[in-house]
Amino acid sequence: MVSGRRLYRTGLLMSKKVILSLILFLIFLSYGWGQSGSRVSVTINPDVLIVGEAFTLTFLVDYPVPEDVSLIAPPFSASLTVDRFLRIPRASSAISDTGAGQIQTSMEFRLIPKTSGRIILNSFSVITPAGITEINAIVLEIRNEKEEQIFTHSLRWEGAALRITAGERVTFSLLIQTRNENILSIPPAFFMPEVPKGVILSQSQINIQERERGIVLKLTLIPLSGGEFILPARILQQENVRFEIPELRIFVSNR
């Protein structure tokens, strides 16, 4: 575990040579040299981070001499175990002005997450004779292997009038934008809301064409008196699929 901002060298220790190099570098800065720093790219592998499974956090620096490259790291979260740190040269696929392949310096952490959730690593600093390059905070999303991915679908009401009269019959539908046959085959009763008092609300038959359009529920409403007919917003879930149903309001006037 790393505590405090630490200067990473071979074996994760600070050497006298590094301190001397840093002092000389600060002297260079006082004369206006090395202000821009070397270009640094950051990669995380793999893309999906799982509790207990190691991943690599790599800083690829456009500087060819690993011994002249240092990395100042922030404190690591207690939710992460630092398994190893490597600083090695790496051949780049890019071509230099001379026509030869470039050599870069790779600084790689191998980390193991202990818990799920969001972990934020504050800024890193990469130091080379070209200057200091500050790396913005890195956000890691860690999940448990057993956690299922939830797929959310937003539905909408179609054909509902804003205003009707008591005793008037009106038909409207609940529509989903998907062609997933498993979702479209869900029985309409799954989406049926609780019937408010003072109305007659029943399911209507859905034909093949309507089903193909994405209609999952078709309702016929007959309000018995004036007022406001409200179907509140709901969230339904079946296995790893979540359905977000918006609120529906219809003003009902008396005859």
Evaluate if residue 120 carries a pLDDT over 80.
Answer: yes
The structure tokens listed for 100 are 């030869």
Region 81-90 average pLDDT:
92
Is the model more confident about 75 or about 101? 75
Q: Count how many Cα atoms sit within 13 Å of the Cα of residue 57 in the half-sphere of its side chain.
A: 21
pLDDT above 90 as % of the chain: 61
CA distance 95 to 103: 10
CB 29 within 8 A of CB 22: no
The residues of the chain that CATH labels 2.60.40.10 are: 6-143, 151-253
Residue corresponding to tokens 């003072």: 198
Pick from 107, 113, 108, 138: nearest CA to 123: 138
Global pTM value: 0.46
Residue 147's pLDDT band, with cuts at 50, 70 and 90, is: low
Superfamily of domain 151-253: Immunoglobulins (2.60.40.10)
Rounded to 5°, the CA angle 53-55-56 comes to: 165
CA distance 118 to 137: 13
Query: What one-character-per-residue DSSP string does 79-133 give?
Result: TEEEEEEEEEEEEEEEE-TTSSEEEEEEEEEEEEE-S-EEEEE--EEEEETTEEE
Model pLDDT for residues 202-234, shown as the tens digit of each residue:
999 999 999 989 999 999 999 999 999 999 999
What does the pLDDT read at residue 149?
72
Which CATH code of 3.10.450.50, 3.40.50.300, 2.40.30.10, 2.60.40.10 fits the domain covering 6-143?
A: 2.60.40.10
Q: Where are the beta strands (DSSP E) in the chain?
A: 6-8, 40-45, 49-50, 55-61, 70-73, 80-95, 101-113, 117-121, 124-128, 131-135, 138-143, 151-158, 163-165, 170-176, 199-203, 215-223, 227-231, 234-238, 241-245, 248-253
Residue 150's pLDDT band, with cuts at 50, 70 and 90, is: confident
